[in-house]
A and B are shown apart, each in its own frame.
Chain A
């Protein structure tokens, strides 16, 4: 079975703190892709990153970084020096061999000024 678990329903941090959003996935496929999306209060989902199963290198983009570990089936997302504009719901998703994603239930991040 394929599954994505985002155990953190809601996280609150104070501005400038670092925060990590967890994502654990399950799949039997050897080829798969992992994604992160951001849903700001406006509602539109915004694509952040895609990572394939053969590339375990960590990715950094500005204040955002992603840690992919196949050994623990995790694809965690860290925001460094969080800002109020980072407040949103963040979704992790798994794509593997079918014509759809499996989305996690999302983590609501609140960054307080």
Chain B
């Protein structure tokens, strides 16, 4: 069976500090991978998606970046965090085009930028 891991679960970082969130998927190959952000009490905002190693598409220009160094690993990074980066970050995967297939979400990382 497939599982998706995210870490850390919670993170408190000062403004201007770097960020690295990691997501790994087990039990499947060539997944599409996604990073979403959910601000408190809000809906889901797609940040990045990837259809393969080294292939990253950005949905929202901002101070965040993503990388996919391995087939089942997806990393979200920032060089300098802003207060507005606080939120709940969710990683997800799917097989095939997401338009037609369900996505499976990780447990999320709750980030607080102070």
- Chain A residues engaging chain B, CB cutoff 8 angstroms: 32-33, 35, 37, 42-47, 50, 52, 91, 95-101, 103-106
Chain B residues 46-101 with CB under 8 Å of chain A are 46, 49, 51, 57, 59, 88, 90, 92, 97-101
Residues of chain B within 8 A of A105, CB atoms compared = 42-43
Would you call A47 and B104 a contact (CB within 8 A)? yes
Chain A interface SS verdict (over half):
loop
Tell whether, in the assembled complex, residue A45 and residue B43 are in contact, meaning their CB atoms are under 8 Å apart: no
Q: A44-B108, A47-B102 are in contact. Are A91 and B43 (CB under 8 A)?
A: yes
Q: What's the least CB distance linking A46 to chain B, in Å?
A: 8
Query: Could you jot down 7 A-B contacts, CB within 8 Å?
Result: A42-B107, A45-B105, A47-B103, A91-B43, A99-B49, A103-B43, A106-B43
Inter-chain pairs besides A45-B105, A47-B103, A95-B100, 12 sampled, C-beta below 8 Å? A33-B99, A37-B105, A42-B107, A43-B107, A44-B106, A50-B101, A95-B101, A99-B32, A100-B59, A100-B98, A101-B98, A105-B42
- B15: CB under 8 A from chain A? no
Interface centre among A33, A43, A91, A106 (most CB of B within 10 A): A43
CB B48 to nearest CB in A, in angstroms, measures 10
| Residues of A close to B42: CB separation below 8 A | 105
* CB proximity of B27 to chain A, nearest CB, Å: 16
Residue pair B108, A91 in contact (C-beta under 8 Å): no
**Cβ of A98: which chain B residues have Cβ within 8 Å of it?**
99
Within the complex, what minimum Cβ distance (angstroms) separates B106 from chain A? Answer: 7
How close is A27's CB to chain B, nearest CB, in angstroms?
10
Inside 8 A of A103's CB, which chain B residues have their CB?
A: 43-44
Complex contact A35–B102 (CB within 8 A): yes
CB-based nearest B residue for A50? B102
Q: CB < 8 Å: which of B46, B108, B110 contacts A100?
A: B46
